[in-house]
Structure 1
Amino acid sequence: MLGGMRFSYAEAMTDPSYYLPLAQAAEAAGYASFTVADSLVYPRESDATYPYTADGSREFLEDKSFIEPFSLIAAMGAVTSKIRFTPFVLKLAVRPPVLVAKQASSVAFLTGNRLALGVGLSPWPEDFAVMGVPWERRGRRMDEAIEIVRGLTAGGYFEYHGEFFDLPPVKMSPVPTEPIPILIGGHSEAALRRAARLGDGWMHGGGDPAELDALLTRLAELRAAEGTADRPFEIHVISPEAYSVDGVKRLADKGVTDVIVGFRNPYVKGPDTQPLAKKIEHLERFAESVIAKVNP
């Protein structure tokens, strides 16, 4: 169904003072959600490569501003009423899951169920090191963290006895009145399998557009294999096709539920020089030319 496509506005690594007016502008223009980037620290030295740039370069990240996601979402939520916020993605594997559950439940409560929790592994070994978390077995650790976040944010007593985490029966208050959707990011086989098994959706990280169809096909196969194909599932995608009505129709036909759009390339060295007024002009123009025609 074409009319059901949702549009997410993506802006990151920009002047932090822009976020609140951008959230208000995106809400007014008809975007369903606003993605929020996560980065903890920038290491002076690293052997790691970035998985979503063609050459693996990470230098574009240096001196870029990243507000802690839950803090930023609470602030944007306070000046909006409808738009949803989606970390894209929260580096869950390096964080204590009980603390994430408390942060997520608090923000979802404060915003009236307007949090969709995008989570993933960090590609940076340095993130694990500075947070005191082992790099080894990080995927299984994240699986347990997802289960803990889901269990604690549901309300009531929850206990957990895993390989990495052991919780006696505990509960948190307040919790939101609806379950927090947990969306899994990543393109690896393990990430797709994790999304199929544990997630309420999958978040595509971009990259070569030609690879998207194969990822969607594999995700569908894994959901069928895990027996989860019939439960509600969000598919958030970055694609050049999202920028035209016909392209959105093609994505909808492939099962995509949400398209993520941005109007500048954030993967460049140096500060973002695009003024706030220009950003608002871009997001409003797209809303008029595409969103209004897809969702009249």
Structure 2
Amino acid sequence: MKFWQMLHWIETDQLIEVARFAEELGFEGVMNGDHGVYPEVVNTPYPYAADGNPPMTGDWPYPDCWISLAMIAAATTRLKFSTSVYVLPLRHPIEVAKMTGTLALMSDNRLILGAGIGWMKEEFDCYGIDFHTRGKRMDECLDVLEKIWSGEMVEHHGRFFDFQRCQVVPAPTRPVPVFTGGASKAALKRAAKRADGWIGAGNSPDEVPGIMAELKRLRREAGRDHLPFETVVGLTQDMDIDTLKPLRESGMTAGVSAPFAFSLGRYSSLDDKKRVMEDFAESIIRPMGQDYPANTIKGMVTS
């Protein structure tokens, strides 16, 4: 089993050093969060909390994903990096394809695009994009990304995006792996049909086997169960080896070390963060026997 360090909301000047340290400790990768803007008034219920209240507010930092991940790429050599998750329907997919394709190419294909449809209507309102069509818009964005990443002369004529033959180079040497998020039936179906992996937003250990079984069923139904597929699951309770081993058997391929805001509070020192990461590596990563096989497909470890 592999493990990722979440970078959501940490002090921006600590991002690079935390990523470097994650690489030293044997983490598979790091993931940062995304919101284009955070409106002053948010009435949309947060879907991953029982009371509908999000854990963050507008003054919690969301540095630009691609600039910060490019800096992390330049400061590391093995570490993978992803977004968890990028609100893809807010953006034009040609721009996303160009940024991610360049970053993948210049980082030896260590980038994974973690993408979701978003949950905050007010954020979509700021962009002038219809919140209620975001699922269909997401699917079309994925279509455009695949075309642009090919590096060929391509065109697209869809409901949300329409462009004549054009080309974006340089292109990545292979398509950027896409992990999708979301816990709804539609989100799981999208992951099974379109993605190379799924990123959870926090689940209890009791929930995980059912989700893994459903993803397996949906992937078999889509004729994609023979392809590599990652499941990155954050647990809503403290992890231990006895909890993780049966989850690995159920199909969970990766766990996460939670955002430091949950373990240390809104602000913490770099030393404190390193201590939390060292404890996680000692108690979880090393006992679980994480390794890095040479055989990879589309930039992902396949075992």
Which residues of 2 match residues 27-42 of structure 1 at below 5 A?
Answer: 27-42=23-38
Provide the secondary structure at the position in 2 that maps to 1:136.
helix
Partner of 1:218: 214
- Amino acid of the residue matched to residue 292 of structure 1? R
Q: Does 1:63 align with 2:47?
A: no
Distance apart, 1:27 and its partner CA: 0.3
Contact 2:179 2:198 in 1 (8 A): yes
Contact 1:7 1:31 in 2 (8 A): yes
Q: Does 1:48 align with 2:44?
A: yes
Q: Does 1:250 align with 2:246?
A: yes
Partner of 2:274: 280
Partner of 1:104: 100
Which residues of 2 match residues 186-205 of structure 1 at below 5 A?
Answer: 186-205=182-201
Contact 1:241 1:247 in 2 (8 A): no
Contact 1:16 1:67 in 2 (8 A): yes
Name the stretch that deviates more: 227-236 or 112-121: 227-236
Contact 2:182 2:201 in 1 (8 A): yes
CA distance in structure 1 between the aligned counterparts of 2:36 and 2:263, rounded to whole angstroms: 17
1:66-88 Cα distance to aligned partner (Å, 9 max, x none): 10111110011111111000100
Contact 1:161 1:167 in 2 (8 A): yes
Distance apart, 1:120 and its partner CA: 0.2
Contact 1:263 1:283 in 2 (8 A): no
- Amino acid of the residue matched to residue 214 of structure 2? R
Partner of 1:21: 17
1:88-145 Cα distance to aligned partner (Å, 9 max, x none): 0000011111111111111112222111100001101112111121123221111010
Distance apart, 1:210 and its partner CA: 3.2
Q: Taking structure 1 as reference, are residues 236 and 255 closer, same or farther at Cα in structure 2, changes over 3 Å only?
A: same
CA distance in structure 1 between the aligned counterparts of 2:216 and 2:270, rounded to whole angstroms: 39
Contact 1:12 1:266 in 2 (8 A): no
Name the stretch that deviates more: 258-267 or 59-68: 258-267
Q: Taking structure 1 as reference, are residues 154 and 267 closer, same or farther at Cα in structure 2, changes over 3 Å only?
A: farther
Partner of 1:82: 78
Provide the secondary structure at the position in 2 that maps to 1:61.
coil
5+ residue gaps, structure 2: 291-303
Distance apart, 1:295 and its partner CA: 2.4
What percentage of aligned pairs have identical amino acids? 32
Partner of 1:142: 138
- Amino acid of the residue matched to residue 279 of structure 2? R
Aligned residues: 290
Partner of 2:297: none
Q: Does 1:7 align with 2:3?
A: yes
CA distance in structure 2 between the aligned counterparts of 1:248 and 1:170, rounded to whole angstroms: 47
Q: Taking structure 1 as reference, are residues 167 and 126 closer, same or farther at Cα in structure 2, changes over 3 Å only?
A: same
- Amino acid of the residue matched to residue 201 of structure 1? G
Name the stretch that deviates more: 170-179 or 139-148: 170-179
CA distance in structure 2 between the aligned counterparts of 1:94 and 1:289, rounded to whole angstroms: 39
Q: Does 1:289 align with 2:283?
A: yes
Distance apart, 1:233 and its partner CA: 1.1
TM-score by length of 2: 0.89
CA distance in structure 1 between the aligned counterparts of 2:154 and 2:23, rounded to whole angstroms: 35
CA distance in structure 2 between the aligned counterparts of 1:136 and 1:10, rounded to whole angstroms: 29
Distance apart, 1:290 and its partner CA: 2.1
Q: Taking structure 1 as reference, are residues 76 and 44 closer, same or farther at Cα in structure 2, changes over 3 Å only?
A: same
Partner of 1:152: 148
Name the stretch that deviates more: 152-161 or 22-31: 152-161
Partner of 2:300: none
1:9-43 Cα distance to aligned partner (Å, 9 max, x none): 11211210110000000000000110111012221
Distance apart, 1:59 and its partner CA: 6.3
CA distance in structure 2 between the aligned counterparts of 1:35 and 1:107, rounded to whole angstroms: 15
Q: CA RMSD in A?
A: 2.0
TM-score by length of 1: 0.91
CA distance in structure 2 between the aligned counterparts of 1:164 and 1:139, rounded to whole angstroms: 12
